[in-house]
Structure 1
Amino acid sequence: MTVAKSNSLVARLSAPPIPSVIAWGREYKGGKGPLIDLSQAVPGYPAHPEMLRLLGEAAGQQVMTGYGPIEGEPLLRAAYAAHLAELYGAELSAGNIHITAGCNQAFMCTAIALAGADDTVALTNPFYFNHDTTLSMLGIGRQLVHCDPAAGFLPDLRSAEVALAAGAKMLAVVTPNNPTGAVYPPSLLHELFVLCRKHGAWLVLDETYRDFLAEGYGRPHFLLSEPGWEDTLVLLYSFSKSFCIPGHRLGAITAGPRLIAEIAKVMDNMQICAPRSAQIAVASALPVLADWRAGNRLEIARRADALRLAVSGLAGWEIAAIGAYFAFVRHPFADRSSSEVAERLAREAGVVCIPGAYFGEGQERYLRLAFANADVGSIELLSQRLG
């Protein structure tokens, strides 16, 4: 009898990382106090009551039980385009927007539309692990772009040019970054854009954590004002973090109309349409919850400050980069792998985080702390737990 085999491109992947580190936390006996979960990037506070009301109201409509437009509900596409146009001072319309079931799906749809099996895509090192595994299961090669810890884990332009000159079809970057928290300044993003245009590649910019830039930061970049940006740039976004609705799975792609049409072909075969009631609810919530979202940005900043203070007095521990939801922290145990350190922290100290090795090559001395998940009081306990 011949044994049937699964897809080798999927079989070679490791198990999803979040459940594995959460399993370590389940073995914690509580001796140091309550468990502090800094693993997954989920909002550490509830959705606004008005958001919940809008979701319930939309979900109760009979029309929402049917299929919707592949590209997304016209109401949300128009509302989000107007939101981006104001944010970036650019001309955008609903035709530039495609709604997806979360930002991971936005990346997968974009990757399929832009690259094929045996093509190569450039990722920063460290990278967001779901970007890497998506490419791997699609049979798309990976070229790593070096990010220097001494420079706050910003991508090295020379390394990026090497990857693009070698034929990478696209360069995918995340800012504010996951896992490091590093914020890529507008000037750097412009230089990456110019490099991609020079080599005929796409710059895919994941802005999932854009709404948590520091107060008064200004425009994250000016790329949407570049002539012909539609031939080089793709923006990805998630509504999950800003509106505290990750379970409703809602993301967005911003691109030129021609690429939106290609992505619609992918989406039609992947999901047909994103969840409809959440789209209608978020379209209404975008303007009415603007002040609430701004308040959340300040709360996340307070949590970042608490983490800086908690780590500052710990011998051997160092925050290599921090921003938005994440801190990439260098641990003091040179003779231990990041997995060993993270597992021991979870089981013995009740602190769940993700090993740096999960995010790329040469990251064994680092741990990712998703500090947005915890309140200030819990973060203050880290000075004792890590010590």
Structure 2
Amino acid sequence: MKLAARVEQVPQSVTLAISAKAKAMKAEGLDVLNFSVGEPDFDTPQHIVAAAKKALDEGKTRYGPAAGEPKLRELIARSLTQEVGINYSAENIIVTNGGKHSLSELMMAIIEAGDEVIIPSPYWLSYPEMVKLADGTPVIVPTDAATEYKITPELLRQAITPKTKLFVLNSPSNPTGMVYTPDELKALAQVVVESGILVVSDEIYSQILYDGAQHLSIAATHPEVHKQTLISSGFAKSFAMTGWRLGYLAGDKTIIGAMTRIQSHSTSNVCTFAQYGAIAALEGPLDCVETMRQAFAERRKVMYELLNAIPGISCVKPYGAFYMYVNIGKIGLGSVGFCNALLEEKQMAAVPGLAFGTDDHIRLSYATSLKNIETGLKRLEEFVEGRL
């Protein structure tokens, strides 16, 4: 049977085999340390869980509005208005089945065959594939440690053509943990305004920041740029709600309306009672978010010090999210070979940088215990020493 050409363009995940192997090894009783996980290792805060349970008890189990529960949309709009400084209303918000869904629906709503989408590399691995599935063309712009893996205004300007429709920005970044400064964002916003392109700002890690780093949305950096900006975010990372599948997109109401039509014909609506958990997250105290952030901050400090004490590898200090992007270029192995060997020899699972567009790096998550970090980095040190 011949599959659709759009599917043939999307490769199998390079992490799939390693993930399956790690699970199989763990099932065999081996002490596998998993540094590939892209989710907090905390339980969802109890007041959020309680709100969802209450919604179930109250019969909130029926179909809901395609764009999301009205109260949740209003709360998201109010929260963004306070954080960004731009006036958002409920009609500027769509609630989606996770942050990933908000991005894929956006691509389907605005991208046509021939449209180009600019994506800085390293990138979150699904960005280019979402563009391809919408029949668009991803334009990858490489960055490196010299700019802390951030795209510059000059690189962005050079990548823009008459076919450019969208620029994808992610700060704090997955996989690098980098956070764009206000001046950097202002300079990028100027290019966006001058060129007339759209920008989607993936801000899913906006509340996980360190060393005084401040989150600023590109939507707030220029008097006109908010008209061209879509904000993608969700509840997964900050509130440890990854399995709840609750995300949202904020922006122009015409685009939100188009996405709502798509959603009404694909998923109908987001899980009704889960949305009441999200309402509790926005209405409740944020001390749970800060508790998790402080734990990540301590782990980040330990992992960064241990990593940069290992000869032959290096890592730029991250200021957000919970990842370290490690340069393994001196080891002489591609990232897939490196991760396979690391798993087989040291029972340590990492994500190959090839998945993020750079084959001389690996990604390590510090969403794991300090004990695991200390043990794992010792294993990594032994592995690297044996190859220098």
Q: Which amino acid aligns with 1:386?
A: L
CA-CA distance at 1:19 after TM superposition: 3.4
Q: Partner residue of 2:161?
A: 165
1:302 pairs, out of 284, 298, 305, with 298
Contact 2:119 2:139 in 1 (8 A): yes
Q: How many Å separate the matches in 2 of 1:174 and 1:222?
A: 10
Contact 1:301 1:324 in 2 (8 A): no
Cα deviation code 1:32-87 (max 9, x no counterpart): 9732211131111111222221122223332x332211111111111112222222
TM-score under structure 2 length normalisation = 0.91
2:380 pairs, out of 363, 370, 386, with 386
1:210 pairs, out of 206, 209, 215, with 206
Asked if residue 236 in structure 1 is aligned to residue 232 in structure 2, the reply is: yes
Map 1:104-183 to 2 at 5 A: 104-183=100-179
Q: Which moved more, 1:341-350 or 1:50-59?
A: 50-59
Q: How many Å separate the matches in 1 of 2:221 and 2:57?
A: 40
TM-score under structure 1 length normalisation = 0.92
Contact 2:26 2:32 in 1 (8 A): no
Percent of aligned pairs with the same amino acid: 23
Q: Which amino acid aligns with 2:336?
A: S
Asked if residue 38 in structure 1 is aligned to residue 35 in structure 2, the reply is: yes
Contact 1:192 1:203 in 2 (8 A): no
Q: 1:5 to 1:32 in 2, by over 3 A?
A: closer
- Unaligned stretches of 5+ residues in structure 2: 382-388
1:377 pairs, out of 352, 371, 376, with 371
CA-CA distance at 1:154 after TM superposition: 1.0
Map 1:7-18 to 2 at 5 A: 7-18=4-15
Q: Partner residue of 2:359?
A: 364
The 3-state SS of whatever aligns with 1:241 is coil
The 3-state SS of whatever aligns with 2:257 is helix
The 3-state SS of whatever aligns with 2:238 is helix
CA-CA distance at 1:166 after TM superposition: 4.6
Asked if residue 347 in structure 1 is aligned to residue 344 in structure 2, the reply is: yes
Q: Which moved more, 1:19-28 or 1:49-58?
A: 19-28
1:26 pairs, out of 23, 27, 50, with 23
Contact 1:90 1:225 in 2 (8 A): no
Q: 1:247 to 1:221 in 2, by over 3 A?
A: closer
Q: Which amino acid aligns with 1:135?
A: V
Q: 1:209 to 1:29 in 2, by over 3 A?
A: closer
Q: Partner residue of 2:183?
A: 187
Q: How many Å separate the matches in 2 of 1:73 and 1:154?
A: 36
1:98 pairs, out of 94, 98, 101, with 94
Q: Partner residue of 1:56?
A: 53
Cα deviation code 1:285-315 (max 9, x no counterpart): 2231311112211111111111112212211
Q: Partner residue of 1:267?
A: 263
Q: How many Å separate the matches in 2 of 1:40 and 1:229?
A: 34
Q: Partner residue of 2:384?
A: none
Contact 1:128 1:359 in 2 (8 A): yes
Cα deviation code 1:297-347 (max 9, x no counterpart): 111111111111221221112113523221110125542111000111112
RMSD: 2.2
1:283 pairs, out of 279, 286, 298, with 279
The 3-state SS of whatever aligns with 2:200 is strand
Q: How many Å separate the matches in 1 of 2:271 and 2:189?
A: 32
Q: Which amino acid aligns with 1:130?
A: S
- Unaligned stretches of 5+ residues in structure 1: none
1:250 pairs, out of 234, 246, 260, with 246
The 3-state SS of whatever aligns with 1:217 is coil
Q: 1:177 to 1:83 in 2, by over 3 A?
A: same
The 3-state SS of whatever aligns with 2:164 is coil
